[in-house]
Amino acid sequence: MMWWGYDHMTGWGYALMGLTTVAFWALVITAIVLAVRAARRATGPLSPPPAAEELLAQRYARGEIDTEEYHTRLDTLRGRHDHFAGS
């Protein structure tokens, strides 16, 4: 006797197919997320550039500018124009 009617998947076949599809897409998404994280880690964190006052303080600390020039430039950065370099 031939069993012509039993060539389709059963309920277990559909369940297994659904689970493997979900597992496949979970692996694909996980791989993408991990690749993006690794790429970000490789380039380093993005930090904002130092402020102008901070750069000025670093130059003063290294001895590149003297005290008078430091205060003159600091006053200029802060918007105080009553302190002139030549006076």
| Helix, strand or coil, per DSSP, at residue 74 | helix
Q: What is the mean pLDDT of residues 59-67?
A: 94
More confident residue, 30 or 8: 30
Residue with tokens 């008078």: 68
The band of 26, judged by pLDDT with boundaries at 50, 70 and 90, is very high
Q: How far apart are alpha carbons 39 and 31 in whole angstroms?
A: 12
The band of 84, judged by pLDDT with boundaries at 50, 70 and 90, is low
> Does the global pTM surpass 0.85?
no
| Helix, strand or coil, per DSSP, at residue 61 | helix
